[in-house]
Amino acid sequence: MRKVKDCELDYVIGGDSISGTVINAFVNVIRVLMDAGRGVGSAIRRVAEGNLCPLD
């Protein structure tokens, strides 16, 4: 393997693949957002229907 000169770095192609780690991170973010949406929706529904647990 030879060293690449600075002027040759403009012609290097590659490194644009998506790794499994990146896909997993996006899936986890989507899951967190969906869980948060379910929680907020459930809370709104419970307040609207008057089905809240007493705090005493």
Domain residue spans in the chain?
18-49
Q: How many residues belong to the chain?
A: 56
Per-residue confidence at 56, pLDDT binned at 50, 70, 90? low
Mean pLDDT of 22-40: 96
| Whole-number pLDDT of residue 44 | 94
| Whole-number pLDDT of residue 30 | 98
Token pair 């790794």 in the structure block, residue: 19
- Indicate the SS3 state at residue 42: helix
User: Is 0.95 topped by the overall pTM?
Assistant: no
